[in-house]
Amino acid sequence: MTPKIERFLNQTHIETPFLVVDLDQIATNYQALRAALPVADIYYAVKANPAQPVLRTLVGLGSCFDAASVAEVDDCLAAGADPARISYGNTVKRQRDIARAHELGVRLYAFDSIEELHKLAVEAPGSKVYCRILVSNGGAQWPLSRKFGCELDMARDLMLTAEDLGLDPHGISFHVGSQQMDPARWEMAIGRAAMVFSDLREAGLELKMIDLGGGFPARYRGDEGRPADDFAAAIMNAMTRHFGNNLPDMIVEPGRCIAAEAGVIQSEVLLVSRKTYDDPTRWVYFDVGKFGGLAETMDEAIRYPVATPHDGTPEGPVVIAGPTCDGADVLYEKYRYTLPLALGAGDRVNLLCAGAYTSVYASQRFNGFAPMAEYYI
Ligand SMILES: *Cc1c(COP(=O)(O)O)cnc(C)c1O
């Protein structure tokens, strides 16, 4: 937790649950990635936290943006972003949304199929397009599956077709999966992308850009100590190995590693109870759960560090659950958290590393619970 957030929490007594984000930490995280990978352009993945103060902070730092919908393009523009610095990175777009984005000045689009390429040719003629390829998401705690990307031979053909359709075949992208703990995944993916580059070079088409996606991890519980430099070194080694002195333009699209560690969710403990007299495991119910923004606890994938007012006192095993009447609203049961024995109803707990993929995941009114409030300081 940053000193600014700590002061905010000490001075204000706001109804829980809420998210507080330190904008200085957003800037620090951006600059750390910038320093680790100085040759790459940073396209912030807006979906991680699209709040205006976050976007304005990043516009001020010269960031580019990766948007997944017209609404996200609008959010970037409202924050002062230049449309020439926005990429429409979703490979699944409504045709009239492409037309709208093009009207707004967006000139860089992702695709992974011939069908999407035809839409782009009609609605965004002359634009730069890049093809997303399938890569392994092993090692990622929040994998993106086979939903996006195509195989290499298809990518090669599609890039040639893009040129025939009057588009500008610009580059290749991939995403190694979110919260990716293994730097070697980027090396493998870069190797695959490089094969498409060289196949196309043989066919007379010189691509200009490689988009290395997001996936850079934040420090959740158990994930501490993987510095950004490890990932940057792996990426630069692979880039040099495959492209030599002929490096294409490089893009990264970080979401989580910019926003996560800048945010804290404060929640109130509603109940601490037991299911039997002799079971040492207590059930701890927070006033925020899976439907209130903690969707990434699905399969216990993302593990938020939890701080309590009793830290440093004796602890025991707990199951942590959310406040709704849905049986799926259990946050951690298999992964054994321990929390202080002194913890009780009314205590406020802080979920750390919670600035990414939380506020936007909250349901509107499930069980009558409103989405958490948000503060950007
Ligand atoms: C979600 C997403 C990102 C951001 O991923 P992180 O793991 O949060 O860094 C980047 N690019 C695309 C295309 C995405 O869908």
Cβ of 45 below 6 Å from ligand 1: yes
pLDDT bucket at 137, cuts 50 / 70 / 90: confident
Tokens found for residue 183: 């730097």
pLDDT value at residue 37: 96
Nearest CA-CA partner of 127 in 144, 111, 151: 111
Instruction: Calculate mean pLDDT across residues 121-137.
Output: 96
Residue 214 Cα to ligand 1 middle (Å)? 5
Choosing from 41, 47, 111, 144 the residue with most ligand 1 atoms within 8 A of its CB, the one to mutate for a pocket test is 47
Cβ of 217 below 6 Å from ligand 1: no
Cβ of 66 below 6 Å from ligand 1: yes
Instruction: Read off φ and ψ for residue 28, nearest 5 degrees.
Output: -60, -45
Nearest CA-CA partner of 220 in 186, 257, 183: 257
Does 64 qualify as catalytic in the annotation? Answer: no
Entry pTM: 0.96
- Beta-sheet strands, E only, within the chain: 18-21, 40-45, 64-67, 86-88, 108-111, 128-132, 140-142, 168-173, 178-180, 209-211, 249-252, 263-273, 282-286, 306-307, 315-321, 330-340, 348-351, 373-376
Cβ of 132 below 6 Å from ligand 1: no
pLDDT value at residue 225: 65
pLDDT value at residue 141: 86
Domain borders along the chain are 23-258, 261-376
> What is the CATH number assigned to the segment(s) 261-376?
2.40.37.10
Atom of ligand 1 at shortest range from CA of 180: 7
> What is the CATH number assigned to the segment(s) 23-258?
3.20.20.10
Residues 30-47: tens digit of each pLDDT:
999 999 999 999 999 999
The yes-or-no verdict on residue 312 having pLDDT over 80 is yes
Residue 247 Cα to ligand 1 middle (Å)? 23
In the chain, the amino acid numbered 32 is: A
Residues 178-215: tens digit of each pLDDT:
999 999 999 999 999 999 999 999 999 999 999 999 99
Residue 21's SS3 state is strand
The yes-or-no verdict on residue 228 having pLDDT over 80 is no
